[in-house]
Amino acid sequence: MPHIDNDLKLDFKDVLLRPKRSTLKSRSEVDLTRSFSFRNSKQMYTGIPIIAANMDTVGTFEMAKVLCKFSLFTAVHKHYSLEQWKEFATQNPDCLEHLAASSGTGSSDFEQLEQILEAIPQVNYICLDVANGYSEHFVEFVKDVRKRFPQHTIMAGNVVTGEMVEELILSGADVIKVGIGPGKLVHSHAPSVASTCGAPFKSFLVTFLLGSVCTTRKKTGVGYPQLSAVMECADAAHGLKGHIISDGGCSCPGDVAKAFGAGADFVMLGGMLAGHTESGGEFIERDGNKYKLFYGMSSEMAMKKYAGGVAEYRASEGKTVEVPFKGDVEHTIRDILGGIRSTCTYVGAAKLRELSRRTTFIRVTQQVNPIFSAES
Amino acid sequence: MDTVGTFEMAVVMSQHCLFTAIHKHYTLDDWKLFATKHPECLQHVAVSSGSGQNDLEKMSSILEAVPQVKFICLDVANGYSEHFVEFVKLVRARFPEHTIMAGNVVTGEMVEELILSGADIIKVGIGPGSVCTTRTKTGVGYPQLSAVIECADSAHGLKGHIISDGGCTCPGDVAKAFGAGADFVMLGGMFSGHTECAGEVIERNGQKLKLFYGMSSDTAMKKHVGGVAEYRASEGKTVEVPYKGDVENTILDILGGLRSTCTYVGAARLKELSRRATFIRVTQQHNTLFS
């Protein structure tokens, strides 16, 4: 029976954070480092909980090298070979604690993941990533991986509702990736996962189509406004001592701050980290302008590259775009971290941990003064 | 702002009884020279200062040298810090008879706190400015009309006053700010790009432009503090605005617009505007056919 959920659901663009009394004198006093103890793996994490997405244009070893210097995290994409992993591990042993190895639910993916984790025991994180985290098949897969790797921290997704967060945590995942379709380019679909297509969906989501370039929402009409998804999923996860990653939908440092404010333990970034020296993807020069190619992981581009083309029964659910070349990612990282520090001083949070407790969102109709926005 | 709050601007503004918050980067000698040349302007200007020790000392020396200046503008990005509240108290203790403008904040409880700490006029607005990127960089902010309505209510209850600072893009917005209860309206972007603004006129492809930037932009930070510190992000942008000629015309346009607003709602004085203001929520500001 079709049902319309009339509860208002919001995106990052619909809110601003209300400033609050603060005893901080400077942004430099803000501590962005967080420590977590994971529910199922019993492992500890310490670092700045921002993650480069496991897209082959963003989750690269080059990115990981820079991000680990800032104690940020990288979900390395699943298309590196075992040899490449070994080489990276030998050359950059210090980075390994800030990395996850990724896998879809396909058996070849999983075999490679096993080989990587066996060869490089310092990698303690696994990122299990499918477009539709609602499939029973995926839940079974998470259980299998938990059995096979009892002491690795498992990130799994993507989902957008509390009951599925709980299901995945109870099935052995530690950190749940939250977000369906908020990205500029949907990136969570592994080309090899044919099995999810026929699997029963636990819920269909009647959604507002937001006019973003995210094509899962356009192609399927499925999705959930990210701010509301994060708030609801964080609540569900924290109740079970689990954690969540807000994955996708951030277009500026302010959005990252809002995700943390909404209760995300980690924030995963794709588009914001694309287009840098350290990003994968072709470098293009045209009319004196420099671009880098950036594409969603179920775009035609990615599917051609890794699965030999788009299968007949499916549509491509990602876009390929040329993003202006932004130089070294280091500057972007400083800009993001500086922005979040500033947010923390505005709401009086001396530590990132306090940000969500100090957060009151105000609903707005306009984010910024649009007068000069063309030039920015 | 160092592009807009200039002495040249103040000369024209004071002819129309408008006020200028002079930016804090003029030296004591610049001030002395200005005071000698334009004594008639001094009652319509404020000296600005951040909450740093150097700023405070410079402001003190200016106020001593030019006693005709009666207004102080204390301006920090985040008026919510306890450190700023203490600073306002300190300035009040040192200058018991000067009128202190302080901000910026966006909520009633902080307006009250600053007034009770010694400020007279509270600057209201976080992130609405045209060259401000605080909202994209931090996600922090408050819709300006609501902020003005709520803060005016708090201030007036304590016989304090407020300035609506930022977010005005046209004379109609200025009228709305007054209608919402603002006692003063502060303008940056609308006064940018004029002859009286700092900076050279740039000519490119036959177009005349002037540089305008936020005071926490890369441009401003490089100019005044030698760059953006490692732990912070720039929170302003730099734009080239079309050169608009003398500010006199813009002033007349704004004042004419305000007068027209007042006649529409039946307010014989600006004072009556907020009492006669009823806002209608709309989905469209104007007919977009030719814009």
Instruction: Count the alpha carbons within 13 Å of A327 in the hemisphere toward its beta carbon.
Output: 4
- Judged by CB atoms closer than 8 Å, whether chains meet at B189 and A23 is answered as no
B168 labeled binding residue? no
The rounded distance, in Å, linking the Cα atoms of A95 and A61 is 10
- For B142, which of A16, A334, A345 is closest by C-beta distance? A16
The rounded distance, in Å, linking the Cα atoms of A132 and A57 is 21
Q: Output the CA torsion A15→A19→A25→A26 (10° steps).
A: 10
pLDDT for the residue B233: 82
DSSP string computed for A307-375? HSS--TT------EEEEEP-B-HHHHHHHHHHHHHHHHHHHT-SBHHHHTTT--EEE-S-SS-GGGTTT
pLDDT for the residue B284: 84
CA distance B233 to chain A (A): 4
Confidence of residue A120 (pLDDT cuts 50, 70, 90): very high
For B129, nearest residue in chain A (alpha carbons) = A369
Q: Across chain B, how many H-helices and E-strands are there?
A: 11, 10
Confidence check: pLDDT of A26 > 90: no
Q: Which of A89-98, A140-149, B223-232, B269-278 is predicted with the least confidence, judged by mean pLDDT?
A: B223-232
Q: At B29, give phi and psi (nearest 5°).
A: -65, -40
Q: Give domain status of residue B115, yes or no.
A: yes
Q: Which chain A residues touch B136 with a CB distance below 8 Å?
A: 252-254, 367-368
Task: Return the residue in B137, B145, B170, B285 with the most chain A beta carbons within 10 A, the one to mutate for interface testing.
Answer: B137
Confidence check: pLDDT of A358 > 70: yes
For A362, nearest residue in chain B (alpha carbons) = B142
pLDDT for the residue A374: 53
In tens, the pLDDT along A284-301 reads: 898 889 998 887 777 777
pLDDT for the residue A185: 53
A253 to chain B, any CB pair closer than 8 A? The answer is: yes
Strands A361-363 and A15-17: antiparallel
The alpha carbon of A362 is separated from its chain's Cα centroid by a whole number of angstroms, namely: 25
CA distance A176 to chain B (A): 24
Identify the sign of the CA torsion A228, A234, A235, A237.
Answer: positive
B164 labeled binding residue? no
Q: Centre a 10 Å sphere on the Cβ of residue A123 and count the other Cβ atoms it contains.
A: 21
Two tokens at A147? 């059995």
Contact status, residue A353 vs residue A266, Cβ threshold 8 Å: no
Q: Which chain A residues touch B140 with a CB distance below 8 Å?
A: 16-19, 254, 257, 342-343, 346-347
pLDDT for the residue B291: 67
Domain range annotation of chain A: 15-185+223-363
Q: Which amino acid is at A305?
A: K
A252 to chain B, any CB pair closer than 8 A? The answer is: yes
Is residue A90 among the annotated active site residues?
A: no
CATH of residue B97: 3.20.20.70
- For A17, which of B139, B237, B239 is closest by C-beta distance? B139
Confidence check: pLDDT of A205 > 70: no
Confidence check: pLDDT of A187 > 60: no
Which pLDDT tens digits describe chain B residue by residue (291 residues)?
Answer: 999 999 999 999 999 999 999 999 999 999 999 999 999 999 999 999 999 999 999 999 999 999 999 999 999 988 999 999 999 999 999 999 999 999 999 999 999 999 999 999 999 999 999 998 999 999 999 999 999 999 999 999 999 999 999 999 999 999 999 999 999 999 999 999 999 999 889 999 999 999 999 998 889 988 888 888 888 888 899 999 999 999 999 999 999 999 999 999 999 999 999 999 999 998 888 887 776
A189 or B202: which leads in pLDDT: B202
Q: Which chain A residues touch B113 with a CB distance below 8 Å?
A: 21
Which of the 8 DSSP states describes residue B81?
B
pLDDT for the residue A239: 97
- Judged by CB atoms closer than 8 Å, whether chains meet at A253 and B136 is answered as yes
HEC readout, B3-16: CCCCHHHHHHHHHC
Q: Which domain holds residue B35?
A: 7-276
Strands A50-52 and A289-295: unpaired
B231 to chain A, any CB pair closer than 8 A? The answer is: yes
- For B136, which of A252, A341, A362 is closest by C-beta distance? A252
Arithmetic mean of pLDDT, A31-57: 96
Confidence check: pLDDT of A199 > 50: no
CA distance B91 to chain A (A): 17
What is the ipTM metric for this complex? 0.85
Residue showing tokens 């066996």: A118
pLDDT for the residue B65: 97
Which of the 8 DSSP states describes residue B226?
S
Q: Give domain status of residue B290, yes or no.
A: no
Confidence of residue A193 (pLDDT cuts 50, 70, 90): very low
Arithmetic mean of pLDDT, A180-186: 65
Global pTM value: 0.88
In tens, the pLDDT along A47-73 reads: 999 999 999 889 999 999 999 999 999
Q: Across chain A, how many H-helices and E-strands are there?
A: 11, 15
CA distance B185 to chain A (A): 16
Neighbour-count burial of A209, counting CB atoms closer than 10 A to its CB (0-12 exposed, 13-18 middle, 19+ buried): exposed
Contact status, residue A195 vs residue A105, Cβ threshold 8 Å: yes
The rounded distance, in Å, linking the Cα atoms of B177 and B179 is 5
Confidence of residue A203 (pLDDT cuts 50, 70, 90): very low
Just give the CATH number of A15-185+223-363. 3.20.20.70
pLDDT for the residue A297: 74
Nearest Cα neighbor of B215 from B97, B80, B90, B55 is: B55
pLDDT for the residue A37: 97
A315 labeled binding residue? yes
In tens, the pLDDT along A216-273 reads: 676 777 889 999 999 999 999 999 999 999 999 999 999 999 999 999 999 999 999 9
Neighbouring residues of A81: CB distance < 8 A, sequence distance ≥ 6: A112
pLDDT for the residue A184: 53
Q: Centre a 10 Å sphere on the Cβ of residue A105 and count the other Cβ atoms it contains.
A: 23
- For A371, which of B126, B139, B189 is closest by C-beta distance? B189
The alpha carbon of A333 is separated from its chain's Cα centroid by a whole number of angstroms, namely: 16
